[in-house]
């Protein structure tokens, strides 16, 4: 069964890309009350670039090697995983799936071993993302999307990257919708606070 569940040269630590995404995912449903995490109220993406390997990403001279490597590892985590080859091929097409190599298994699960399967990785897409919190702070990071084989693209690189772009657009829309809802909620809470203060003044 499937487990679906920065600017250039910025990221230097492995948490760079995942931190921004986790922050938006976790805080999107948080409250801005005292002692609780701030919410993300604005998100912007740039146009992603596609690479067939880490070396190609480095050669493009847009991101540092560490950023290219981190984005690649993070993209592997987003590839669907299946417990059997048959289950993977039933969804992605005959001949489209492989067992992960040691590097991919380590990146995906933290272990170099494991009996599972995934659509064959063809590359990945990398872009920049900026978010703004309800407190006015801004955060920059990378976002990434795996490019992998399935029955629709049949291993065609251009078709596969178009499909990855569609997934990025869906992610962007989802994040912007959550940010808009957070912004509206923060505005309403500020309004309630003002009315509460006013009532307190009238009663004194």
| 131 assigned to some structural domain | yes
Q: What is the pTM of this model?
A: 0.73
Give the CA distances from residue 82 to residues 88, 99, 106, in Å, rounded to whole numbers and listed in that order: 6, 10, 16
Phi, psi of 29 (to 5 degrees): -110, 10
> Does residue 194 sit within a domain?
no
Residue 7 lies in a domain: no
User: Please, are residues 87 and 108 in contact by the beta-carbon 8 Å criterion?
Assistant: no
Encoding tokens for residue 79?
């590839």
Whether 199 is covered by a domain: the verdict is no
Please check whether residue 152 lies inside any domain of the structure. Answer: yes
The burial of 201, by beta-carbon neighbours within 10 Å (0-12 exposed, 13-18 middle, 19 or more buried), is given as: exposed
Domain of 134, in residue numbers: 16-28+38-181
Q: How many domains does one find in the chain?
A: 1
Model confidence over 71-82: pLDDT tens digits?
999 999 999 999
**Taking each helix axis from N to C terminus, what angle separates 102-109 and 65-77, rounded to the nearest 10 degrees?**
80
At 184 the pLDDT is 86
Residue 188 resides in a domain: no
Please choose, from the candidates 1, 49, 24, 16, the residue with its C-alpha nearest in 3D space to the C-alpha of residue 147: 49
Query: Does residue 1 belong to any structural domain of this protein?
Result: no
SS3 167: helix
**pLDDT tens, residue by residue, 53-104:** 999 999 999 999 999 999 999 999 999 999 999 999 999 999 999 999 999 9
- Asked whether residue 175 is domain-assigned, the answer is yes
């Amino acid at each position: 069964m499937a487990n679906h569940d920065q600017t250039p040269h910025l990221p230097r630590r492995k948490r760079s890309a995942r931190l921004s995404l986790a922050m938006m995912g976790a805080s999107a449903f948080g409250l801005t009350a005292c002692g609780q995490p701030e919410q993300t109220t604005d998100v912007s993406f740039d146009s992603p670039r596609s690479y067939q390997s880490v070396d190609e990403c480095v050669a493009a001279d847009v991101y540092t090697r560490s950023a290219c490597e981190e984005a690649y590892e993070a993209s592997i985590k987003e590839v669907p995983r299946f417990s059997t080859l048959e289950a993977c091929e039933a969804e992605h097409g005959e001949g489209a799936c492989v067992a992960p190599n040691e590097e991919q298994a380590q990146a995906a699960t933290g272990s170099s071993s494991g009996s599972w399967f995934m659509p064959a990785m063809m590359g990945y897409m990398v872009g920049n993302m900026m978010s703004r919190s309800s407190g006015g702070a801004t955060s920059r990071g990378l976002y990434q999307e795996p490019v992998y084989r399935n029955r629709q693209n049949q291993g065609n690189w251009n078709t596969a990257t178009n499909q990855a772009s569609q997934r990025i657009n869906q992610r962007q829309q989802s994040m912007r919708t959550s940010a808009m809802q957070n912004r509206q909620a923060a505005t309403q809470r500020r309004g309630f606070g003002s009315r509460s203060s006013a009532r307190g003044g009238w009663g004194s």
